[in-house]
Amino acid sequence: MIVRDLTSLDDDRTTDGGTWVSRRLLLARDGTRFSMHDTILRAGTTTTMWYRHHVEAVYCVGGEGWLHDDEAGVRHALHEGVLYCLDGHEHHRVEAVTDLRMICVFDPPLVGGEVHDADGAYPLLGREVAEEAS
Ligand code: 9YT
């Protein structure tokens, strides 16, 4: 069993991507087949993403903003209680009107320091680490 408290998270589990800060509660090194993050997207920012190597599920637990689906050309309001899952590796943007607090799950798991590359993707690093840990 793993029990972890956001208020006493190790420094190397926090990654700042500029428009967001991600507190990575579960990572590949924990031996799980997914990672789980508590992420704040900063008010007034827009983040462009395309997770071509990962499936991400995102659950909004606070704040207001917009999810722009750049493949369908539609936007969805984000507020507490809204979930989206990028099961088709969709190009998308998240516009934070206020600070948005998001619980994010990645499969395969992240290893810890990932930030978006020029395409908005994270590199595929987790699978090997997860296999070593199991
Ligand atoms: C939706 C979102 O928060 N994206 C950017 C950060 C990412 N989810 C992460 O690494 O936690």
Assigned domain for 110 exists: yes
Assigned domain for 61 exists: yes
132 CA distance to ligand 1 middle (Å): 25
Query: What one-character-per-residue DSSP string does 85-127 give?
Result: E-TT---EEEEESS-EEEEEEEESPP-S-----TTS---S-HH
- The total number of structural domains in the chain stands at 1
Assigned domain for 2 exists: no
Report which ligand 1 atom has the smallest distance to the Cα of 114. Answer: 10
Q: 26: domain range?
A: 17-133
Give me the pLDDT at residue 115, please: 86
Q: For residue 99, what is the domain's CATH number?
A: 2.60.120.10
Q: What is the pLDDT of residues 44-79, one digit of tens each?
A: 999 999 999 999 999 999 999 999 999 999 999 999
Assigned domain for 48 exists: yes
pLDDT for residue 16 is more than 80: yes
The model's confidence at residue 116, banded by pLDDT at 50, 70 and 90, is confident
Assigned domain for 117 exists: yes
Give me the pLDDT at residue 123, please: 85
The model's confidence at residue 126, banded by pLDDT at 50, 70 and 90, is low
Residue 123 CA to residue 61 CA, distance in Å, equals 27
Considering the entire predicted model, what is its pTM? 0.91
Percentage of the chain modeled with pLDDT above 90: 83
Report which ligand 1 atom has the smallest distance to the Cα of 58. Answer: 1
pLDDT for residue 19 is more than 60: yes
Q: Coil, strand or helix: which one is 73? A: coil
89 CA distance to ligand 1 middle (Å): 14
Q: What is the rounded average pLDDT for all residues in the chain?
A: 93
